[in-house]
Amino acid sequence: MVKGLKYGRDRWYRIQEDDARCVVCAADPRSEPTWSVESLLPNKAQSADAPKISSKQLHHLLRLSALPLPETPEEEAKMLDTLSAQLHFVGEIQQVDTKDVTPLRAIRDETKAAEKEQTITLETLKDAFAQEKVIGKHHKRIQRDTTIPIDASDVEDWDVLGSAERKVGKYFVVDSERPQE
């Protein structure tokens, strides 16, 4: 059972029953550190050996992220340097042994009690089931009653087009062409 976190010797420790372990490498605070924040950043020599990222790869990534392409060769070189440093950092993080560790997706209550509370049951859906009817005398079918009026004004009552830069009638307007491959 984790009781808390504490910071010391350049890293975070998870405090357990009568023990504290580094959150990254699980070493205890007395042992010689196996890593440091410094090691996450590339030094000059390392960045030279770092895997080379091609201009083509950079452009591909920028396109996927909808970011503008560099305008000058200098700008591109700077981007490649930054990316390379970031990749070194990611490479170091990937060294951590995460076998049997469930990835942390969000900070939320993951106890059994909370899970039970979140579980979707017949009771959770009883209003929705009440809006269904069975049709047919012999060949019975289920039909959601679409004649029941829906009042969604609490979430729909706002000026949807209010911050649109361009609009035509009730539509948003976007100009775009398919990129040529």
Partner 1 sequence: MIPSTTRTTLAAASIRPSTHHSCRCYTSCLPLIKRKIYDRPLFRLLHTARESLKDDTPFRKALKDAAKKDKKEKREHLNRPSNPAKLRGPHVDNWELTVGIEIHAELNTVQKLFSGAATSVNQAPNTHVALFDMAFPGSQPHFQTQTLIPALRAALALNCDIQYRSSFDRKHYFYQDQPTGYQITQYYEPFARDGYITLYPHDFPPGSAHPNEPVTIGIKQVQMEQDTAKTIQQPPSTHLLDFNRVSHPLIEIITLPQIHDPTTAAVCVRKIQAILKAVNAATAGMELGGLRADVNVSIRPRDKQLTDYQHSYSGVTGLGQRTEIKNLASLKAVEDAIIAERDRQIELLEGGGVVEGETRGWTLGNKSTKRLRGKEGEIDYRYMPDPDIPPIFVDPELVDHLRSTLPRLSDESVHILTNGNQYNLTPKDASTLLALDDGERLDYYYDVVERLRARFAAEPAMEARIGKSAGNWVLMELGGLVRNEEWSSTRVPSEQLASIISHVLRKTITGRTAKTLLSMKYDGDERPVDQIIADENMLVRPLSDREYEELAKGLLEEKADMVRDIVEKNQFKKVKWFVGQMMARSAEGTVEPDKAEEVLRTLLPLPREN
Applying CB under 8 A, the residues found at the interface with partner 1 are: 64-66, 103, 105-106, 108, 115, 118-122, 124-125, 127-129, 131-132, 136-144, 150, 152, 154-156, 158, 160-161, 168-178, 181
Query: Would you say 86 and 51 are in contact if contact means Cβ atoms under 8 Å apart?
Result: no
Instruction: Give min distance, CB of 150 to partner 1, in A.
Output: 5
Instruction: Give min distance, CB of 56 to partner 1, in A.
Output: 13
Calpha distance 9→30 (Å, rounded)? 10
Shorter beta-carbon distance to partner 1: residue 5 or 125? 125
Pull the structure tokens for residue 89.
């950092």
Instruction: Give min distance, CB of 43 to partner 1, in A.
Output: 29
Strands of 4-8's sheet, edge to edge?
4-8, 11-16, 19-22
Instruction: Give min distance, CB of 64 to partner 1, in A.
Output: 6
What's the one-letter identity of residue 166? R
In terms of phi and psi (left: phi > 0; alpha: psi -120 to 50; beta: otherwise), the region of 169 is left
Shorter beta-carbon distance to partner 1: residue 28 or 132? 132
Instruction: Give min distance, CB of 2 to partner 1, in A.
Output: 20
Shorter beta-carbon distance to partner 1: residue 6 or 144? 144
Shorter beta-carbon distance to partner 1: residue 5 or 160? 160
Query: Would you say 2 and 14 are in contact if contact means Cβ atoms under 8 Å apart?
Result: yes
Instruction: Give min distance, CB of 100 to partner 1, in A.
Output: 17
Shorter beta-carbon distance to partner 1: residue 52 or 137? 137
| Burial zone of 42 (CB within 10 Å; 0-12 exposed, 13-18 middle, 19+ buried) | buried
Shorter beta-carbon distance to partner 1: residue 78 or 166? 166
Query: Would you say 134 and 145 are in contact if contact means Cβ atoms under 8 Å apart?
Result: no
Calpha distance 105→126 (Å, rounded)? 30
